[in-house]
Amino acid sequence: MSIISKLFGKSPFEPLYQHMLKVKACVDLVRPLMDAFLKGNEEKVKEVAKKIFKAEHDADIVKKDIRSSLPKSIFLPVARGDILRFLKEQDHIADSAEDLAALLILRKTTVPEELKKELKDFVDKVLETYEAAMTVSSEIKLLAETSFGGEEAHKVMELIEQLKLKEWEADKAQMTAAKKMFSIEKKLEPVSVMMWMRIFGELGTLANHAENAGDQMRLMLHNS
Amino acid sequence: MDASFILIAAVLIGLYSAINIGANDVANAMATSVASGALTIKRAVVVAGVCDVLGAVLVGSHVANTIRKGLIDPLQFSDRQTLFLFGMLAAVLGSALWVNIATYFKLPVSTTHSIIGGVIGFGLISVGVAGIKWKVVLFVILSWIISPVFGGIIAFTIFSIIKKFILSSKEPIAQTRKIGPFFTGIVAFILSLAVIYKGLKHLHLDLPIKEALLISLCVGAGGFLLGSFLLRRYKERNEDPYYQVEKMANPLQVLSASFQAFSHGANDVANAIGPVAAIVAVVQTQKVDMQVPIPLWLLLVGGAGLAFGVYTWGHRVMETVGKRITSITPTRGFSAEFGTATTVLLCSRLGMPVSTTHVAVGNIIGVGLARGISAINLSVIKKIFSAWIISLPAAGLFSVTIYFILSILFT
């Protein structure tokens, strides 16, 4: 066997792209999940939640594969730690979707009419943030091709700026939704208030991980 | 033992080595072009075979001279020619045996290191420590360390240029059209200079530096025009420009792969025919006079052996190597091959027997350091280093053993 072919390790960038697709397959289900939740369709919520659990598990498998194919003796065009931390953040997006789905099937929580608009807005903002993160992640193969610099890196940098803007909007929407919830706190059961705090928290965390993934990607770029 | 018998045996063993070298090493040069789809395996085999023979015939004599008379002064054997013949036969046979055994145990050994080990081995046992030209040995060993680093620096620089002017630009395709021809021009210039400056006397290619430079500049200009023509022929598609740049770089990579095959022929043919050349010189002149040039037919035999190895086995090696290295794209392949070929050719002209494979490894790491390669397995370097350390004494030991057996049997 030729020594030259042994010199080439397995590129982590195509698998990172595949991991992004798996995360996407999982988090894309958050929209139908929240739609069913808003409509109070308990059956549908359970059904979508199951799909989310399965999809999150699929993403985990790809994550483990990437980790095990990156021993310390592999020399990469970007710091190994940056790749692993990016992978972790990208995976956390799917984890948050899973935790959110788990919360929704844990206890039957109905959405009060007064809260519907704010919750919808908040979900929209969170999912916009997530989609912006996926747009950033989908550039990984082209970044590897241009060795993480130049015009392509510049483009990705701009995408990351947009992502950060979305996350900021999601934060604002979270505040608005939480305020609204407390404004009707007298009408709500105490346990419901606790559940709302956790649901909001989980949605916010999803947006945060999306932003963190972008930040980690930024560390890989070389003309920053 | 009859001298002509030794000659025939040596030529056959040399041919066998050449076939082995052709089968295994040439694939390294062409596999990247096969992997990137720039060449089909059939075409790669033809191109590699032809370039290897050309390199061997046109530039191969320099390194062969080092092996036949650079390490041990043959004049020490003027009163015992037979021992010298036995010694050179033992060196070529011993190193061939060692390479075969090492390959069986999957050790990444270099034929270059083995043949040098073989020659030094028999020298130590026949004329002793003082009979060996240690200065040359030292230079050769230094060249094994310096050549991969030197090549790596070239590859790093070339890829950095590609990155800065093409991959980082707003118009990568237009930039490729502008920059690409310079690369083809430089390749043509270096190739032509290496061949015609004080080149092979048989072919009347021994021009002085001024004329050689002038002609090489003209050839280089021709290469520039050819590159410019090839790159202009490319029609833009509705696809991401960076991927199109890789497609445009396909002809560049074929060129650099051919360049690498040429350099490989120039350097590695000596591993097969260097000791044989020493034997031929003694048998032909009936004395140990080393002033005669290496006969053209011997270079042709070596080249033909390399080509035969490529034709028979090379395609299999290319297939397996090509499948595993799909991660290397034409721009990366060009950078690494250009650095490898230039370094190996330079060493060939200086008469330094270097390991083409090790230089290639150095160059790939060079491109990696310029952030061009997605993943490089650095643990391979440890294996290469240990195989290289063990090759010298091991091949030497084989050579010494065969030398003893021959001298006991036939004197």
Per-residue confidence in pLDDT tens, chain B, 411 aa: 577 888 898 899 999 989 888 887 777 777 777 877 778 888 888 998 899 999 999 998 889 889 888 898 888 888 888 888 889 999 999 998 998 888 888 788 888 999 999 999 999 998 888 889 999 999 999 999 999 999 999 999 999 999 999 999 999 999 999 999 999 999 999 999 888 887 766 666 677 888 889 999 999 999 999 999 988 888 888 888 888 999 899 888 899 999 999 999 999 999 999 999 988 888 877 776 667 788 889 999 999 999 998 888 877 777 777 777 666 889 999 999 999 999 999 999 999 999 998 999 999 999 999 999 988 988 888 888 888 889 999 999 999 999 999 888 877
Q: How many CB atoms lie within 10 A of CB B86?
A: 25
**Cβ–Cβ gap A146/B24 under 8 Å:** no
List C-alpha distances in Å: B399 to B87, B298, B402. Answer: 8, 22, 5
Burial B19-33 (b: 16+ CB within 10 A, else e): bbbbbbbbbbbbbbb
- Looking from the CA of B281 toward its CB, the CA atoms found within 13 Å total 22
- List the single residue in A2, A9, A142 with the smallest CB-CB distance to B376: A9
Interface test with A, best of B30, B166, B247, B374 (most A CBs within 10 A): B374
Please give the Cα distance from A224 to B7 (Å, whole number).
66
Q: Which domain holds residue B205?
A: 3-410
- Helix H or strand E segment including A216: helix A190-220
User: How is B115-176 classified by DSSP, letter by letter?
Assistant: HHHHHHHHHHHHT-GGGB-HHHHHHHHHHHHHHHHHHHHHHHHHHHHHIIIIITSS-HHHHH
**Residue owning tokens 């084989």:** B398
Burial B245-266 (b: 16+ CB within 10 A, else e): bbbbbbbbbbbbbbbbbbbbbb
pLDDT in tens, A36-57: 999 999 999 999 999 999 999 9
Q: Looking at the complex, does the CB of residue B104 fall below 8 Å from at least one CB of chain A? A: no
Whether A92 is in a domain gets the answer: yes
Q: Looking at the complex, does the CB of residue A3 fall below 8 Å from at least one CB of chain B? A: yes
Residue B200: phi and psi, rounded to 5, are -65, 130
- DSSP-derived letter for residue A222 is S
**Cβ–Cβ gap A73/B170 under 8 Å:** no
Q: What is the pLDDT of residue A66?
A: 95
Tell me how far apart the terminal alpha carbons of chain B are, to the nearest angstrom: 8
3-state SS assignment for residue B106: coil
Distance of CA B184 to the CA centre of its chain: 20
Please give the Cα distance from B384 to B391 (Å, whole number).
10
* CB distance B35 to B113 below 8 Å: no
For residue A150, the chain B residues in CB contact (below 8 A) are 163, 167-169
Q: What is the pLDDT of residue B201?
A: 66
Distance of CA B188 to the CA centre of its chain: 18
- Which one has a higher pLDDT value, B328 or A114? A114
For residue A3, the chain B residues in CB contact (below 8 A) are 108, 357, 361, 380, 383-384
Rg (CA), chain A: 20
Which residues is B377 bridged to in the sheet? A74
CATH number for the domain spanning A154: value is: 1.20.58.220
Residues 6+ apart with CB under 8 A from B189: B216, B217, B219, B220, B223
* CB distance B216 to B189 below 8 Å: yes
Degrees (nearest 5) of the Cα angle B212, B267, B183? 55
Of B212, B349, B191, B328, give the one whose Cα is nearest residue B259: B191
Q: Looking at the complex, does the CB of residue B215 fall below 8 Å from at least one CB of chain A? A: no
Rg (CA), chain B: 22
Q: So what's the ipTM on this one?
A: 0.87
**Cβ–Cβ gap B168/A150 under 8 Å:** yes
**Residue owning tokens 């002509």:** B4
Of B23, B4, B14, give the one whose Cα is nearest residue B314: B23
Q: What is the pLDDT of residue B123?
A: 92
Banded pLDDT at A224 (limits 50, 70, 90): very low
- Burial class of residue A84 (count of CB atoms within 10 Å of its CB; 0-12, 13-18, 19+): middle
Strands A74-75 and B376-377: antiparallel
**Residue owning tokens 């020493």:** B278
Number of domains in chain B: 1
- List the single residue in B320, B361, B371 with the smallest CB-CB distance to A3: B361
**Cβ–Cβ gap B375/A1 under 8 Å:** no
Please give the Cα distance from B95 to B113 (Å, whole number).
9
Q: How many CB atoms lie within 10 A of CB A190?
A: 8
Whether A5 is in a domain gets the answer: no
- List the single residue in A2, A8, A13 with the smallest CB-CB distance to B377: A8
Tokens of B14: 């040399």
Tokens of B373: 């390669």
Number of domains in chain A: 1
Q: How many CB atoms lie within 10 A of CB A88?
A: 16
Q: How many CB atoms lie within 10 A of CB A106?
A: 11
Which residues is B376 bridged to in the sheet? A8, A75
Please give the Cα distance from A92 to A159 (Å, whole number).
20
Distance of CA A18 to the CA centre of its chain: 14
Please give the Cα distance from B186 to B9 (Å, whole number).
42
Q: Which domain holds residue A177?
A: 10-220
Look at residue A34 and tell me whether its pLDDT is greater than 90.
yes
Q: What is the pLDDT of residue B200?
A: 65
For residue A12, the chain B residues in CB contact (below 8 A) are 374-375
Interface test with B, best of A7, A11, A76, A139 (most B CBs within 10 A): A7
Please, what is the average pLDDT of chain A? Answer: 94
Residues 6+ apart with CB under 8 A from A114: A180, A183, A184
Q: How many CB atoms lie within 10 A of CB B226?
A: 16
pLDDT in tens, A74-96: 999 999 999 999 999 999 999 99
Closest-CA distance of chain A to residue B360, Å: 8
